[in-house]
Amino acid sequence: MKNILFVASESTPFIKTGGLADVVGSLPKCFDKEKYDCRVILPKYMCMSEEWKSKMNYVTHFYMDLGWRSQYVGVLEMQYDGVQFYFIDNEYYFSGSKPYGNIYQDIEKFAFFSKAALSALPSIGFRPDIVHCHDWQTGLIPVMLKDKFPENEFYRGIKSVITIHNLKFQGVWDVKTVRDLTGLPSYYFTPDKLEAYGDANYLKGGIVYADAVTTVSDTYAEEIKTPFYGERLDGLMRARSNSLRGIVNGIDYDVWNPDTDPLIDHHYNAKNFRKEKIKNKRALQRELGLEQNDSRFMVGIVSRLTDQKGFDLIAHMMDEMCQNDIQIVVLGTGDEKYENMFRHFAWKYQGKVSANIFYSEALSHKVYAACDAFLMPSLFEPCGLSQIISLRYGTVPIVRETGGLKDTVQPYNQYESTGTGFSFANYNAHEMYYTIQHAMEVYHSKKREWNKLIDRGMAMDYSWNSSARKYEEMYDWLAGC
C-alpha cells in the first residue's frame, strides 16, 4: 500500500474557483484503493458553506513557528465520497470572503498552509510516501521537504510531485519578505533555486525541488518549454524536461452525467439526445428570457472572465456574431472589463445574448446541457475542463488549438466525417469568427452531420480511467527510486 497526500488550495465540493478544484475533488477516489491510500489536505476557509463546515470533525491543534511568528494550526477531518479529507484551520489566514485575496496576503497564507500541512502529519498519523502538490500555493512544500523537515525521522525519504495547473500564477514576492516568512536560509534564494528575476517564486521552488513535475496535458507540457507559453520559466521547464510529463485531466463522470444530473431539467444520453436535449434548450431560453426558438444556434460560455480565455477575440467579434441566427449564453465572473462587455451586449441584443455575471454550479450544468455549441478560444489552456464537460453533454466545442483544447477536441473533417468539434490555430478574431460560422452552417444545413459530431463527442472517454493509471505509474516509479 502506498500513501499519497494531495495538498491543494481548493477542491470540490468544499470550495471552488476553477478547474483545480474539479481535479482535486475527483482524482483521489479514482486510484486503486487496494494499492493507494490517497488523502487530501485543504485550508478550512471561512467562506466555505455551513453545510460542509458543520460536518467537519476536530482532530487536534498545535502551535507552529512561521519565521519569527508562532501560529495556531487547527486540524479537522471529514470523509467524503470514500476519500479522507483534512482541513487546516486558522481564522487569521483563512477568514476572507474568497479563497484568494491580495497576493501579499496570499504569499503569507500559503507559506503558512504549506508548512502546517506537513507539520500536521505526525499528529494525524499519516505518513505519505509521496506528497502531491498542486500549483504555486503549495510550491514551498517540495522545498521544505528538502530543508528542515528531514531532521525529523518521520519526514525522511518522503517524495514530492508538483502538478502545474497554470504556469501563469507563480506566487511571486520579494526575497526579504519570503525569507522572513519561511525562515528558509539565504542559500535557497538564488536564480537556480527559489529566486527568479530578483524575486522569490514559490512555483519555481516547487518545480526545482519536486522529484517529478507534471502538467495537465501533453501539448501544454511542450508549450511551456517555449518563451510564448513559458511565463519566463521556459528555461527551467527545458532544464527539467526529463522530469516533466503531461497527464491530461479527466472529469467526474458521476457528477457530469446528462442521464442522471440532478441539476438539469431534462435527462438525456448518447442514444436519445436527438429528441431530449432540446428540452433543456427550451427551458433555458425561458429561464433566461431568450427568444423561444428551437432553431437558434445557442452558444455557451462558462468561464473565469480573464485574458487567458480569449475574451478579447470575443469582444472584437460580438457585434458581427450577433448579426447571425445565434444566441449567446455567458456564465462567468472575473475582469471587470469583460463582465461589463457582456452586460453591454446583453443590453444591446436582448433576447439574443444572456450575461450571467456570477458563479452558479446549478446554472453551469444547465448551460452545458442546453447549448448547441460551447465557445473556448483560449490564448493558452493548460487543459480545460469545460470543453470536456461539453463533449459529455453533447454540446459541440469550438476551441483554439492550444494546450489541452488541442489534445481533447478533434477537429471536424467533413470529407472523412471525423472529429468532435471545431477548432482554429491562430489567436485571431476573424479566424475564430469563421470557425463559428462554419459550425453554424453545419448546424443549420447539415443536421445529420451535426448529430454525428455529437455522437462521436459523447462516445469519447474523458473519465479519469486512463489518466489515474498514469499518475499511479508515476507514484510507483517515484516510490521505487
* 402 binding ligand GLC? (CB under 6 A): no
**Per-residue CA distances from 356 to 296, 308, 360, 423 (Å):** 19, 19, 9, 25
- Can you tell me the distance from the alpha carbon of 203 to that of 213, in angstroms, rounded to the nearest whole number? 11
Tell which residue, 179, 229, 225, has the closest CA to residue 199: 179
Residue 331, contacted partner among ligand GLC, ligand ADP, none, CB below 5-8 A by kind: ligand ADP
* 302 binding ligand ADP? (CB under 6 A): yes
- Can you tell me the distance from the alpha carbon of 105 to that of 54, in angstroms, rounded to the nearest whole number? 27
Return the number of the residue (121 or 379) whose C-beta is nearest ligand ADP.
379
At closest approach, how far in Å is the CB of 76 from ligand ADP?
A: 25
Interface with ligand ADP by CB under 6 A: which range of 19-27, 78-86, 408-416, 444-452? 19-27
Residue 54, class by beta-carbon neighbours within 10 Å (0-12 exposed, 13-18 middle, 19+ buried)?
A: exposed
| Size of residue set near ligand GLC by CB under 6 A | 14
Return the number of the residue (16 or 344) whose C-beta is nearest ligand GLC.
16
* 467 binding ligand GLC? (CB under 6 A): no
Binding mask 2-31 toward ligand GLC (x if CB under 6 A, else -) reads ----------------xxx--x--------
* 249 binding ligand GLC? (CB under 6 A): yes
At closest approach, how far in Å is the CB of 149 from ligand ADP?
A: 30
Residue 216, contacted partner among ligand ADP, ligand GLC, none, CB below 5-8 A by kind: ligand GLC
Buried b (16+ CB within 10 A) or exposed e, 144-168: bbbbebeeeeebeebbbbbbbbbbe
155 neighbors 179 (Cβ within 8 angstroms): no
- 224 C-beta neighbours (distance < 10 Å), count: 25
* 121 binding ligand GLC? (CB under 6 A): no
Residue choice 39, 165, 366, 400 for contact with ligand GLC (CB under 6 A): 165
| Size of residue set near ligand ADP by CB under 6 A | 18
Report helix angle 447-459 to 429-445, nearest 10.
110
Residue choice 285, 303, 327, 402 for contact with ligand ADP (CB under 6 A): 303
Omega of the bond prior to 13 within 30 degrees of 0, cis?
A: yes
Residue choice 300, 384, 403, 421 for contact with ligand ADP (CB under 6 A): 384
* 166 binding ligand GLC? (CB under 6 A): yes
Tell which residue, 460, 461, 438, has the closest CA to residue 449: 438
Residue 10, contacted partner among ligand GLC, ligand ADP, none, CB below 5-8 A by kind: none
- Can you tell me the distance from the alpha carbon of 82 to that of 98, in angstroms, rounded to the nearest whole number? 27
**Per-residue CA distances from 22 to 19, 205, 213, 442 (Å):** 5, 25, 20, 32
Tell which residue, 387, 389, 388, has the closest CA to residue 399: 387
* 52 binding ligand ADP? (CB under 6 A): no
Residue 201, contacted partner among ligand GLC, ligand ADP, none, CB below 5-8 A by kind: none
Return the number of the residue (3 or 166) whose C-beta is nearest ligand GLC.
166
Task: Considering only residues 342 through 371, tell me which ones interact with ligand ADP, judged by CB under 6 A.
Answer: 359-361, 364
Tell which residue, 264, 349, 168, 294, has the closest CA to residue 330: 349
Task: Considering only residues 267 through 296, tell me which ones interact with ligand ADP, judged by CB under 6 A.
Answer: none
- H-only helix segments in 56-196: 103-124, 140-144, 175-182
At closest approach, how far in Å is the CB of 211 from ligand GLC?
A: 20
Binding mask 318-337 toward ligand ADP (x if CB under 6 A, else -) reads -------------xxx----
Task: Considering only residues 212 through 231, tell me which ones interact with ligand GLC, judged by CB under 6 A.
Answer: 216
Q: Which three cell numbers stand for residue 13?
A: 465540493
Tell which residue, 10, 213, 9, 4, has the closest CA to residue 110: 9
Instruction: Give me the amino acid identity at 231.
Output: E
Residues binding ligand GLC (CB under 6 A): 18-20, 23, 165-166, 216, 249, 381-385, 404
In the complex, the residues that contact ligand ADP under the rule CB under 6 A are 18-20, 22, 302-304, 331-333, 359-361, 364, 383-386
